[in-house]
Amino acid sequence: MTDTAEHSSPSEKRSAVRSLLRLWPYVRPARNRMAAGAAVTIVASCAGLVIPLALKWIVDGPVAGKDPSGVWLGGALVLVLGLLEASLFALRRFILARPLARVEADMRADLYGHLQRLPVSFHDRWPSGQLLSRATTDLMLLRIFLAFPLTFLLVNGVTILVGFIVLLIQQWTLGLVLLAPVVPLVILCTYFEERYSRAARTAQDQSGDLATVVEESVLGIRIIKGFGRHRGQEKVFAALSGRLRGTELRKAHLLGMLWAVIMSLPELAIGAALVLGVLQVADGELSAGTLVAFLSTALALRWPVESFGFLIAIANESATAADRYFEVMDAPVPADPASGKASAKASGKASGKTSGKARAAKEHGGLRLEGVGFRYPDAPADAPPVLHGVDLHIRPGETMALVGTTGSGKTTLTALIPRLHEATSGRITLDGEDIAAMPRERLRALVSVAFEDPTLFSASVGENVLMGADAGREADLTRALEVAQAGFVHSLPEGTGTQVGEQGLSLSGGQRQRLALARAVVGDPRFLILDDPLSALDVHTEALVEAALREVLAGTTALVVAHRPSTVLLADRVALLSKGRITAVGTHHELLRTSREYASLMAGDEDRSAAADRTHAGHEGGRR
């Protein structure tokens, strides 16, 4: 389980206002609608403050003068003011709903696009649940803040200011009594904000960790059930859930204390003002209507004052949500050279002209690695690099098999070519062109990959395969499925239109691997990188795929990570990777004679392949 501290480091001293101001670029297009919504709400609140003045007129006028018609008129006026206030609040929602939904959608789209551009090393460090919670819960919280707390922090502030002006005008001595709690309330809110911010950030991070556990449990349900580990997973979930529950209770405790004080102090002040006002009425210093209006205004200000605790709590949670959102958005995207006007596909399939570049391509063409080294960014400083001083040249149209022991760096090397990781030293060229100076869009149109662990998406079979081609057609799909010996798709309920489900778990491992291979070859790429693409296939299917794959490899430059001798025989030459370096290059038979390490690897693989053949034959005989 990845600790939250590894991917987030909230500052002890932070400014909620500064965090929320970072939302301005997204809010700016909606600023006019938000200003209109705030103005309408201020008018509605001020209309509510007129009601006590109407009550004063009713008490001191028609009631004191025993004029029933005046009482009815005053009642009608209060009704009109109440309806006006309610209508304006409803209008505020209508004004703000659409633009704020657009703000949330724009932020979510930017986050998703940024995640697609971030390097693989970023995704290796961040749990998926943390990213998911930022794209959903945090953004929803920010939308709620913009729609309600942000507006009402302004509206309630204006309402309180106008209300106290009205109170001071009506009876300044009573107004000063009501102002007495202001200083302790400001001190309390400052004390509360710092502690609530820390608790809110902790709760949001813990919620992301909990989402990660749920996602991993769902995706790994077969492993959990197969090993009977559901009790253990329940304990992990219960522990994280308990931590989150404790944090939420701490938040509730803080908020409860704040609400208790915020509600108590104004109530005490209103009580004191009531006693003092009654004495003034008894002494004839104050009219009964003025006291009623004063108390009605004070009661109307209760909600704006008491709501500040709630609004500050949401504002702090929203500020931590903004911090979490921008933690991801601030992650740097590796610089990518500007794309040229020519399309990547066209440049990928261009046959070349008799120019200086074409002659250079003949001399330095194909795939070349020169002094390539790689170290993972989070590796200890004293750890040796995964790759160092790798030199390799795969000539145009040649297939090179890459062989090595587990952990020798084969998969890492293949990830450097499409720039899923960036080489830390040396350079890699395709037909003489440095990939570091090549726009990623063009690079990934030239290079197609198939990984040992095939990943499929919640889409149809056809859509999954055609992801490997910009404008793939039905004929391309059919050819790719034939190469990968994936004819099983035609027996699925809807053929190539069948939805394979999340991660393609409705298919077997060999079926997923064949679809991943079809995806790699469907675009007829110039360069093909295959990371042990046949590991999940039985020997008979493997032989059929190899026979079809030979035709594809004949027309492309390919690097194939291989473990089985049968896969090695697909290649023109073999490179042996040992301890992060290329230690031998030659044909399969040459390396068997000249490299003891290579001969040992192949001998072990042949033994394992023979055992697999015997096991498979035994299963077949048992079925018969």
Q: What's the pLDDT score for residue 370?
A: 93
- Res. 85: pLDDT tops 70: yes
Q: What is the mean pLDDT of residues 289-314?
A: 77
Residue 421 half-sphere exposure, CB side, CA atoms within 13 Å?
Answer: 22
All residues at 6 or more sequence positions from 443 whose CB lies less than 8 Å from its CB, including other chains: 344, 418, 419, 430, 435
Q: Which of 57-71, 362-376, 465-479, 515-529 has the lowest mean pLDDT?
A: 57-71
DSSP code, position 339: P
- Res. 10: pLDDT tops 60: no
590-608 pLDDT tens trace: 999 998 898 888 876 555 5
Q: What's the pLDDT score for residue 11?
A: 44
Q: Which residue has the higher pLDDT, 114 or 165?
A: 114
Of these ranges, 268-277, 395-404, 448-457, the one predicted with the greatest mean pLDDT is 395-404
- Res. 357: pLDDT tops 70: no
- For the CA atoms of 596, 599, 600, 602, the dihedral, rounded to the nearest 10 degrees, stands at 160
Domain ranges of the chain: 16-209+245-329, 359-455+509-623
What region does 284 belong to: left with phi over 0, alpha with psi -120 to 50, or beta?
A: left
Q: What's the pLDDT score for residue 8?
A: 47
Which structure tokens are listed for 511? 């079926």
Give the other-Cβ count within 10 Å of 351's Cβ: 5
Q: What's the pLDDT score for residue 622?
A: 43
pLDDT-derived band of residue 344, with 50, 70 and 90 as boundaries? very low
Q: What is the mean pLDDT of residues 200-224?
A: 79
Q: Which residue has the higher pLDDT, 61 or 31?
A: 31
Angle 14-261-144 from CA coordinates, rounded to 5°:
50
- Contact status, residue 313 vs residue 255, Cβ threshold 8 Å: yes
pLDDT-derived band of residue 14, with 50, 70 and 90 as boundaries? low
Q: What's the pLDDT score for residue 620?
A: 39
Nearest residue to 47 (alpha-carbon basis) of 14, 7, 88:
88
pLDDT-derived band of residue 65, with 50, 70 and 90 as boundaries? low
pLDDT-derived band of residue 9, with 50, 70 and 90 as boundaries? very low
The CATH architecture one would assign to domain 16-209+245-329 is: Up-down Bundle (1.20)
Question: Which residue bears the tokens 């998406």?
Answer: 457
Which structure tokens are listed for 522? 């469907």
Q: How many helices and strands, by DSSP H and E, does the chain display?
A: 26, 10
pLDDT-derived band of residue 67, with 50, 70 and 90 as boundaries? low
- Res. 149: pLDDT tops 50: yes
Q: What's the pLDDT score for residue 363?
A: 52
Q: What's the pLDDT score for residue 341?
A: 41
Q: What is the mean pLDDT of residues 191-209?
A: 82
Q: What is the mean pLDDT of residues 295-306?
A: 77
The CATH T-level fold of domain 359-455+509-623 is: Rossmann fold (3.40.50)
Residue 374, strand partner residues: 387
Q: What's the pLDDT score for residue 428?
A: 93
CA 546/CA 555 separation, integer angstroms? 15
CA 93/CA 96 separation, integer angstroms? 5
* Percent of the chain scoring above 90 in pLDDT: 11
Give the other-Cβ count within 10 Å of 624's Cβ: 5
- Res. 571: pLDDT tops 60: yes
- Res. 187: pLDDT tops 50: yes
Q: What's the pLDDT score for residue 391?
A: 93
Q: What is the mean pLDDT of residues 102-122?
A: 88
pLDDT-derived band of residue 379, with 50, 70 and 90 as boundaries? confident
Q: What's the pLDDT score for residue 348?
A: 41
Q: What is the mean pLDDT of residues 184-195?
A: 76
Q: Which of 122-131, 220-229, 311-320 has the lowest mean pLDDT?
A: 220-229
Which structure tokens are listed for 373? 């080294």
- Res. 119: pLDDT tops 50: yes
All residues at 6 or more sequence positions from 406 whose CB lies less than 8 Å from its CB, including other chains: none
479-531 pLDDT tens trace: 888 888 888 888 888 888 888 866 666 677 788 888 888 888 888 888 999 88
Distances (CA, A) of 240 to 213, 233, 245: 9, 11, 9
Nearest residue to 87 (alpha-carbon basis) of 95, 98, 99:
95
* Mean pLDDT value across the chain: 79
- Contact status, residue 47 vs residue 88, Cβ threshold 8 Å: yes
Q: Which of 61-75, 177-191, 424-438 has the lowest mean pLDDT?
A: 61-75
- Contact status, residue 60 vs residue 289, Cβ threshold 8 Å: yes
Q: What's the pLDDT score for residue 213?
A: 83
Which structure tokens are listed for 93? 């929602």
CA 228/CA 472 separation, integer angstroms? 44
pLDDT-derived band of residue 64, with 50, 70 and 90 as boundaries? low
- Res. 77: pLDDT tops 70: yes
CA 364/CA 370 separation, integer angstroms? 12
- Res. 269: pLDDT tops 90: no
Q: What's the pLDDT score for residue 60?
A: 64
Q: Which of 66-75, 379-388, 408-417, 577-586 has the lowest mean pLDDT?
A: 66-75
pLDDT-derived band of residue 372, with 50, 70 and 90 as boundaries? very high
Of these ranges, 88-92, 241-245, 308-312, 617-621, the one predicted with the greatest mean pLDDT is 241-245
